[in-house]
Amino acid sequence: MSRKLLLAALLLSAAPASAQTIAIVRGTVAIGDGSAPIPGGTVVVHDGRVVAAGANVAVPAGARVIDAAGKWVTPGIVAGFSRLGLTDVDGVDQATDISSDGPFSAALDIAPAINPNAQPVAVNRADGVTRAIVAPGVGKSIFAGQGALIDTAVDRDPVTRPRLFQYVELGEQGAEQAGGSRAAAHVLLRNALREASELGRGLPAAVTRTPSQPDSQPVVRNPNESRLYDARRSQDVLLTRFDAAALVPVLQGRQILMIHAERAADIRQVIALSREFPRLRIVLVGADEGWTVAPELARSGIPVIASALSDLPAAFETIAATQSNIGRMRAAGVKVAIGTINDDDTRMAFRAREYAGNLVALAKLPGAAGLSWGEALAMVTSRPAEAVGLGGEIGSLQPGRRGDVVIWSADPLDNMAAAETVLIDGVEQPLVTRQTRLKERYQDLTPGVLPPAYRR
């Protein structure tokens, strides 16, 4: 009863709570930018944003003070690649919105499909995942549609950035979607860009990003670019008008093109694509064989969101997979982050911090390439945010970032730790889930007067 009231109170008080000033004191504070954790640090959040974090930070008058002595404080975990919010239960078709076999592909916008009440959102929130990069999955085309950045907060508005990127398959799956050959996938991609180009002719040029604003985000505000619908098209088209229109911002560099590829040869093709179309803002996802082409990847500047622990030749495109992939790519200067690519990506984003911990473990293993603790944390906080151009907004405790802060019972990269307090946009979140309720109902099996159904 009291828990329900608490939940209701949180829901109702969401807006005023964000205006609160919260000071988390005496914890071991990790900024999330790759730096080492700071013992006895302070984090101050005001009006939904981080104001300051680190040692020697003053507690503002009137702040709500949370004592984190003996605990760890980090930015919330950012799921670097996920399908969070797109399913309630994976195996139940009706409860799944990942992909579509309908007529559209690139035009699909995943934002309206996000369900903030889905249990996987709650489970991940309770485990310290505060934001997730969410991609649709492909249906009948190499283009899956437009992905979003979401938060996991208990509120009505889960979408932080809709239409953040277009997702395309260019490896084994891309070949399958294109009719059985990678050659076909590449022709389809180029044809799609040609059709978008024809449709986009006459539109204002792309927003130019200046180096001084690396994180300025030319968000695609209207995915349907409705004035394009009347534009003349040649007879020689494969894409629907909606799909072609959706690719105009990609072609103009206003929307990220997120490409999934694993094998070395495919990654080289992605690098070649970035030279052929210099305005494309490419992010590479997967890259199990990335370490074998790491210098080229580094030179290309293409950010990579990779699987951390993929180490099996699960497919012929991942023959060289090793857990040292991320460590080696990073050592070569590639901008890398961790994601859960086709790895229980609808539900298990919370494993990202264990994965990061495993990469720390590799540092002790002869011949392996591991990460420092600070860099490992960055791989699941700031690095994915930076990969999609939002490093100035989320993923670290640097001043001005959104107030996504987690207090952990212990070192969060070790699997003994649990999230004890979770703030999203400066608002404290409930950590109750169906799982915790079921545990409470069944932890004592002593028969009662009435059956367990009355126990709550």
Closest CA to 364 of 354, 375, 373, 353: 373
- For residue 150, what are the β-bridge partners? 132, 159
What is the nearest approach in angstroms of another protein to the Cβ of residue 368? 4
What is the nearest approach in angstroms of another protein to the Cβ of residue 342? 12
Q: Which x/- pattern, by CB under 8 A, does the window 92-121 give for another protein?
A: x--------------------------xx-
Decide whether 126 or 244 has the Cβ nearer to another protein: 126
Q: Which of 98, 106, 199, 264 binds another protein (CB under 8 A)?
A: 264
Q: For the segment 388-447, give every residue that binds another protein (CB under 8 A).
A: 409, 413-418, 434-436, 438-439, 442-443, 445
What is the nearest approach in angstroms of another protein to the Cβ of residue 187? 25
What is the nearest approach in angstroms of another protein to the Cβ of residue 416? 4
Integer Cα distance of 396 and 49 in angstroms: 11
Decide whether 233 or 434 has the Cβ nearer to another protein: 434
Q: Which residues contact 417 (CB under 8 A, 6 or more apart)?
A: 72, 353, 408, 409, 410, 411
Decide whether 198 or 354 has the Cβ nearer to another protein: 354
Decide whether 231 or 320 has the Cβ nearer to another protein: 320
Q: Which of 123, 193, 256, 390 binds another protein (CB under 8 A)?
A: 123
Decide whether 405 or 413 has the Cβ nearer to another protein: 413
What is the nearest approach in angstroms of another protein to the Cβ of residue 323? 7
Core vs surface per residue 363-391: b (16+ CB within 10 A) or e: eeeeeebbbebbbbbbbbbbbbbbbbbbb
What is the nearest approach in angstroms of another protein to the Cβ of residue 411? 9
What is the nearest approach in angstroms of another protein to the Cβ of residue 198? 40
Decide whether 327 or 426 has the Cβ nearer to another protein: 327
Decide whether 91 or 204 has the Cβ nearer to another protein: 91
What is the nearest approach in angstroms of another protein to the Cβ of residue 360? 6
Integer Cα distance of 39 and 69 in angstroms: 10
Q: For the segment 178-197, give every residue that binds another protein (CB under 8 A).
A: none
**Structure token digits, residue 196:** 């978008």
Site for another protein (CB under 8 A): how many residues? Answer: 58
Decide whether 175 or 188 has the Cβ nearer to another protein: 175
Decide whether 399 or 452 has the Cβ nearer to another protein: 452
Decide whether 166 or 346 has the Cβ nearer to another protein: 346
**Structure token digits, residue 306:** 């990779």
What is the nearest approach in angstroms of another protein to the Cβ of residue 28? 16
Q: For the segment 309-338, give every residue that binds another protein (CB under 8 A).
A: 309-316, 319-324
Q: For the segment 336-375, give every residue that binds another protein (CB under 8 A).
A: 344, 346-348, 350, 354, 357-358, 360-362, 364-368
Q: HEC states along the chain?
A: CHHHHHHHHHHHCHHHHHCCEEEEEEEEECCCCCCCCEEEEEEEEECCEEEEEECCCCCCCCCEEEECCCCEEEECEEEEEECCCCECCCCCHHHECCCCCCCCCCCCECHHHCCCCCHHHHHHHHCCEEEEEECCCCCCCCEEEEEEEEECCCCCCCEEEEEEEEEEECCHHHHHHCCCCHHHHHHHHHHHHHHHHHHHCCCCCCCCCCCCCCCCCCCCCCCCCHHHHHCCCCCCCCCCHHHHHHCHHHHCCCCEEEEEECCHHHHHHHHHHHHHCCCCEEEEEECCCHHHHHHHHHHHCCCEEECCCCCCCCCCCCCCCCCCHHHHHHHCCCCEEECCCCCCCCCCHHHHHHHHHHHHHHCCCCCCCCCCHHHHHHHCCHHHHHHCCCCCCCCCCCCCCECCEEEECCCCCCCCCCEEEEEECCEECCCCCHHHHHHHHHCCCCCCCCCHHHCC
What is the nearest approach in angstroms of another protein to the Cβ of residue 288? 10
Decide whether 13 or 181 has the Cβ nearer to another protein: 181
What is the nearest approach in angstroms of another protein to the Cβ of residue 313? 5
Decide whether 271 or 293 has the Cβ nearer to another protein: 293
Integer Cα distance of 113 and 84 in angstroms: 11
Q: For the segment 277-296, give every residue that binds another protein (CB under 8 A).
A: 289, 292
Does 36 help bind another protein (rule: CB under 8 A)? no
Q: Which of 10, 89, 207, 219 binds another protein (CB under 8 A)?
A: 89
Does 88 help bind another protein (rule: CB under 8 A)? yes
Instruction: Please give the residue ranges that form the binding site for another protein (CB under 8 A).
Output: 87-92, 119-120, 123, 264, 289, 292, 309-316, 319-324, 344, 346-348, 350, 354, 357-358, 360-362, 364-368, 409, 413-418, 434-436, 438-439, 442-443, 445, 452
